[in-house]
Amino acid sequence: MTTDSPLPSPGTPVGVYDSGFGGLTVLRQLQRVLPELDYVYLGDNGRAPYGGRDVDTVLNFAEQCVERLFGEGCRTIVVACHTVSCVALRHLQQRYGSAERRVLGVTIPAAEAAVAATRGHVGFLGTARTVASHTFRTEVRKLSATVQVSEVAAPVLAPLVEEGWEDTDIARLAVARYAAQFGEIDTLVLGCTHYPLLERAFREVVPAGVAVLNPAPEVARRFAIWRAHHPALAPAGSGRLRVLSSGDIARFARHGARFLGEELPPVEHIAEQQGRLALCPDEAEPPGQIVRE
């Protein structure tokens, strides 16, 4: 059973979209700064990770997720996924943006925070696709021609966090190996929304004097400023949260609480059907082989 109709929701929610659990670290900061807003979070963890995907696949997935959130009544969507923000944000803005609908990203706030914090050399750690785009470096150069940016792809880290292994020796070893690839940086930007759960491990391995920067608080701060100028696109509600997941909803609820810092409301399942993401209230999947009618 599927439905394209959103469930009743007070107010006009802000959509927050990520390829999996990680964007809940951004939502956590948004709720801290703007608790009066309603939010709909979409985690596309059934098709995660995005970091090793080709560009066309990332664009296709991003279109489906953004359309689903607009279908839920959102007028503003925050793309919390760094991969989508670095690769697909401009496409999403041109395809869907208007005076009535906006799509915002996390890359520019991350670059602004890095330039404000650095003494001249920023290290940026992200997924393979995020780093290959060089979008973060481009945004930093728009802000400062003198700041040097070194980028390292860390494809192992997000899956480790998705499994809940951030406090294991395996995770600490992986963090140390990636951190060691940077030269003499003074600021390390965690350019994936999963990485804040590894922040303690990073602080333990980077040299003294290197700032470890989680962009999520700056994303929330900049969104609050933007929202003050566009209140009609993100009006106050009742602080309600809905959560949509394209993966196993029980697993999403269990692991998602680690990212959000509190228990999630009942997670609603969505799945791709005929090129669109549809709500699937009957989420339980039968065992064995399936024959589609």
CB atoms within 10 A of CB 257: 14
192 has catalytic annotation: yes
Of 65, 74, 81, 280, the active-site residue reads 81
User: Does residue 65 have an active-site annotation?
Assistant: no
The residue annotated as part of the active site, out of 65, 74, 86, 192, is: 192
Distance CA 171, CA 156 (A): 9
Active-site positions read 81, 192
